[in-house]
Each structure stands twice: as C-alpha cells, then as structure tokens.
Structure 1
Amino acid sequence: MSFVPQIKVPATYMRGGTSKGVFFRLRDLPQAAQVPGEARDKFLLRVIGSPDPYGKQTDGMGGATSSTSKTVILSESTKPDHDVDYLFGQVSIDKPFVDWSGNCGNLTAAVGAFAISSGLIDSNRIPDNGICTVRIWQANIGKTIVAHVPVTNGEVQETGDFELDGVTFPAAEIRIEFMDPADGEGALFPTGNLVDQLEVPGVGTVQATMINAGIPTIFLSADEIGCTGTELQEAINGDDKALAMFETIRAHGAVKMGLIERPEDAAIRQHTPKVAFVAPPRDYVASSGKPVASKDIDLLVRALSMGKLHHAMMGTAAVAIGTAAAIPGTLVNQAAGGGGRNSVTFGHPSGSLSVGAEAEIIDGSWRATKVVMSRSARVLMEGWVRVPGDCF
C-alpha cells in the first residue's frame, strides 16, 4: 500500500496581541491553495489540526482555543497607497470549516512586523532605527489599518517593556490605527438604532447595542442577563446554560443585523458577530491574580468568541468597544458613565485595556473615523509546516 508523503510549506508562527496564528506569504502556499476555495480551506484546516472531535488540535499547530486557531495570508497589496493585503482565516476547532467573515484585531499587530521581516515591504521604506509605517489592506472587511512598527538596526524590534494584560511577558509596543472601522460597506448601526429591544426566543426581550465597527458586535447589559461583568472564563465557559443563552442571542442578533437570514445560519458563521456584555466599573481580581480597581477603569466588558468567553479581549471587539463608548446613548457609553469621550479604559478577564476612538455625525448618521490602540507581537517559530500531500 502506497502513501503520499508530506509536503513542507514556508510559515511563521507568531503571537499578535493576545492571539497566536500561523502566517503565510500567499506566494509560498501550494498552487491550489493560492486562490480562495476548498483546497485552501482544507490545507489550513490540516495545518491547524481541525476538525478535531477531541477538541485539542493535537495533530496540528492550533492551541484548541479561538485565540490560537488562526491563520493569516499576506501578499503585496493590490490596492493603491497600501503595502500589503491581509487575509485572516478563523479555523473552527471541531468542525470542517474556515470562517473568513471578519478580521482579527490582535493578529493585526503581527501583520506589519511579518510584512517587514518577510520581504513584503520595500527596503527603502524601512529605517535603520525608528518607526516603519505599514499600510495594511484588510481584505476580509475591505478596510485600511495602519501599523507603526518599531525598527532597531534595520530589523523589527520585538523585545521591549510594553506590557499587555493577557500576555505574560513584555515586548515592544506596536501602535495600530483602524481607519473608518465600520465593517465592510455596512452602516455603523445596522438597525439604525443605538439601542434595540432584541426579542430572543427562550430568553426574552433584551436591550442590545448592535454595532459594526472592527467586527460586528452585540453588546448587552450584564445585569439584564444575570451577570456582573466581573466574570472570569470558568464562570461562563463552565456553564452550558449560559453558553447556550449567549449563542441564541448571537444568532438572533445576527439576523437583526442583516448578517444572516435565519438564526440556524449562525452555526456556519461562528466568527461573527461577537457578543459581549458591559457593566459599570467595580473592583475585581483578574485571572492572573492581579487586582483591577474600579477607579482605574471606565467600565467592565466581557466578550465571547467562537462560543466561549475570551480570556482577555479580541482586538476587533476592542475597536467596537472604543467606538460605542464614544457615542452617547449606547449601552457601552452608558456603562462608562455617559457623555462624550474620545478614549476609554475597560476591564476584561485578564486586566484592562485602553482604546482611543473618534466618532462624529455625518449626514445625520454616526460614523467612526479612527480607532487607535497599542498591542505587541513576536515571532515564536519560523521555518516550514508539514502536511500530508493529499490533504487538500
């Protein structure tokens, strides 16, 4: 009996923000996987180790969480005034599909660094010492992101003293600007309302702010769903009833936002929308044991990704939080004390995060012009990944 040997494909394993993923240059992928479609999806699934009915991704590069089951494909940009095109694939852990419906804000922090290190940026643009500005076209949602990457002695600086809650070790700070971050061509508030009364069978009617910034997100008030906003992962992820409630809300919110036609379609669109709940600030202890004082934050936010409470905060959800906080009347703004603001610091399960946002009314509708935050990134391993030659 004959067997097809494994092939090896150049790849880099990187941390970006509080996520990890496998990064590829488009031109390095197998020919069949260089275009969107079944072959590409099957290749990435095998790289990550999905679908895995055991939920461990032991036979792949995935880490068995939504934060570590991610892939990135970069290429020279096809868009004027941009350096690279960035395509993000969220790989399902236990199902055979890759979700291309949204961006990953955390891995965005690593995109500029990878682009510089892998030869996708003109060497004349890279300073010997200073900041290299990388203009990124986010292909999933059709938006511009600008990364400001530190460079030392002509190479990306990865080490430093910038600390990010949810990441164990300090690293170099990378500032990221999400320009006009409403997802795709959609309205910032798809329903036209800052707060909706969302009817959810089996749950009831709940208030929801449904916003389309960074990533489509459904915000709820913690007290209305029996939460405090100080929950850590196990409090939610160990409660099957709570997880089912959040998924039902997410499915019906997705219909209301026009993202899917039927609630049951949410099962094949796991990456978007996100669902999160907010509350006014209060003292709590983060998952690391670090105390978070109410005086140091503006509000509390907990968010779910791929059906589980996130251990920190998704970068794209942070964009949504910053944008919603800047707009008086949203549930996020109300939890932060109301009024106008251009920045917000929120508490999440691993600590806190600050986000700056600019929003204004244009032609009678709210529009987010820019959201800014700092993350960090680091190469963990580089070389090749190997997969069976007949897996795609």
Structure 2
Amino acid sequence: MKKLRSAERQRPSFLATLTALAVLGSCGATTAWAQNYPVTPQQRATAQQTAQTGVPLSELSPNAPDEYTVKPGDTLWAISRLYLLRPWRWPELWGMNLDEIANPHRIYPGQVLYLDKTGGRARLTTTRRGGFSGDGGTIKLSPRTRFDSLAGMALPTLNPSIIEPFLSEPIVVDADTLESAPRIVAGNDNRVLLSRGDRAYARGNANSPLVEAPGPVQHFRVFRNATPLKDPGTGEILGYEAQYLGKAQLQRGESTTVETVEDKDVITVVPATVDIIASREEIRAGDRLLPEPPRQLLSYVPRAPSTQVDGRIISVYGNAVQFAAQNQVVAINKGTRDGIDSGHVLAILKNGETIVDRTGARKETIKLPNERIGLLMVFRTFAKVSYALVLEINDTPRAGDFLVNP
C-alpha cells in the first residue's frame, strides 16, 4: 500500500507523462511540442506503474456495472460516463498500454468489459478476474468470438455522425493558402450560381496549374472567403477559417492551345473541367478548391491535458451563430503549439458579467464569478486553433467563455 499511495501522490506527474507519451507517438505536427517535455526514465516508470493501479473506488459512478457488453453505436465517451464520475480519467481506469494511448485500446462491439474492484482500486479489463472461471479448478471452455484489429470496427470516441463532417469540412489556413489555391472561373452555360450536378471550369495559378494526376479521380473541397479567427484575449489572428461550400470532381485538367494568327503564336489557356458533386451552399466564380483529404475517423482516449490550460472559445461553428448547444462544434484558441491534442477534455467556464452594484452606499463596478457550465472535447487540431465538441452543458456557452482543465 505504501507504493500505491506514492503513486497517487505522483498522479499529476503521471497524467503529464501519459499525455507526453501520447504526443511522442502521434503525428509529426505535434512532435516539436513534445520535445519540450522530455520523458525521463523515472517518469516513464511512474506512468507504467500508475497505469496499472486503476482509480479509487470513489471515482466510480454509483451505477457502474460489473460487466458490460459493448454494443454497436456505443462510444468511448459514453462508456467512460457509464463507469466514471470524471470520464476523462478513462486511461487510468482502463490501464492503457502506453504505446497505444492514442486509441481506445482496440475496443470493439461484442467485447465484454469486466470491472475489477480489488484492493480498493478499480480497473477495467476484457478478461474476467481469475480466468474463464470454473468449479474445482476446472476450466470451462465455451465458444468465443475472435476479435481482429480492424480499424474500421474500433469503437469511436464520439458519435461519428456528429463529428465526421467536421473532420474534413472546417479548415484553418494561413492568409495565403486560399489565395494560391485553384479557383473556379466560370460555370457551364454562363451559370452564375452552381450547385450539385452542375459543371464548372477552374484554373490553378501560374506555378501550379490544375492538371490531372496519376491514380484515382481527384476530388476537391470548395471554400470561400476565409474569416480571421482572433484570440478573444489578445486579439492575435490565430488563423483563417475557410467557409465550406461543397465538393467537386476533376474531369479534365487545365491545358493550353497554340494558334498561329498573323504569323504569331497565340497561346490560349483552356481551364480545367470540374463537376460539382455536393453542395452545402451555392458555389460561384472565385471560390477556391483544396484537395479532398483522406477519410479518417479518429479513435482517441478522452483525457485531461497534461499542463494547465487557460483558453477561450473563439467562435461557434456556423453562420452567425453566437451561442453553442450540446453536440455543437466550437473553435478554441489553443492548438498543437500549446500542447492541445485530440481527446483532451476541457471545462467551460461562463464569463461572469461586469455589473454595477447599486446596493451599497455608492455605486461600484464588480465582476460576477466565472461559473463552470459544461465540458467539451477536442477532436481536430491545428497549430494555433482547435475544434471541439460540446459534450455536456447546464447553461449556454458562447464565444469568449473560458476553458480550463476539467
């Protein structure tokens, strides 16, 4: 028990190490950040020990089941909520393999989760304590389902129908990215406004014409005027959020023709031909094309950030939307440069109003306290900005509200 209490005292170090390890094993975009937080052998040993000890029984939800069969449609967050009062402590409950902290340890529909509550601690496993059980030491064999590690079957962290569109639709770019992207120059039959099923013509820039590439048919996303995302506290422009309009498919690449007129060669540009295959809003000349990224549905572990976060909500995703509802997406002013990673859970604090106190002997300006009103989870990160899903609220979050560790 002495070692156990020691591990508990080092829990902040464990969480810092756990997340640092996660970032060390993730994409290159966060590697630079991770290098600022070296993991010492002692920290790694502490993390490995603590990851196997589980959480105190006091952290369990009162209705946490001893046995649960994962169902199609379940999410990692929902199961975390089922078992824990603070779902972001899921890595400790699950005893995550540190090398695989970036995914939910290959949890699939059909698996049975067993809650082990021995020694005053709780851990969740896929093996019943003591093996498959049997009377008198006899092992009882029964048909079992074999689970293959298929990424497409893995349990998602959040509801795919809610976040999947935002994995490709919103994009944060720098000031020059859209300006240099291919642009739509005209619609077929002089159409000014284009929608699904219409044909359009597009051009690249002088150094990078829009041409066909070997392999599958090229698909593009269509964007319009990027809106600056300003930090509510400092006013710094953190990036530009491009307005998603729809999707286009390249039919023919851009080319040139040469015609001799009066003994002179006249070069004429023939724009590329694209078909609009999806549209959220009407598309027009001047809108920009960016390559369609590969489809991905990330499975990551809900967890608290390893370092202190002092963030703000920049905006609520959508046209002229000021307030956020549950299951709505918001942009926040923290990104990979601040150590934010997909799966990080943050608490939302309502920005207390500044009012005039007229109840005393003289008028006095006071600020009401910031109140905790909900939780959000980051699911897509950029250098200075991230997108997060509002998970739970008991009031209405809005742009400017504060974000802190849960």
Task: Give me the TM-score of the superposition, normalised by structure 1.
Answer: 0.25
Task: Give me the TM-score of the superposition, normalised by structure 2.
Answer: 0.25
* Larger relative strand fraction: 1
The structure whose Rg is larger is 2
Higher-RCO chain (CA-CA 8 Å, sequence separation at least 6)? 1
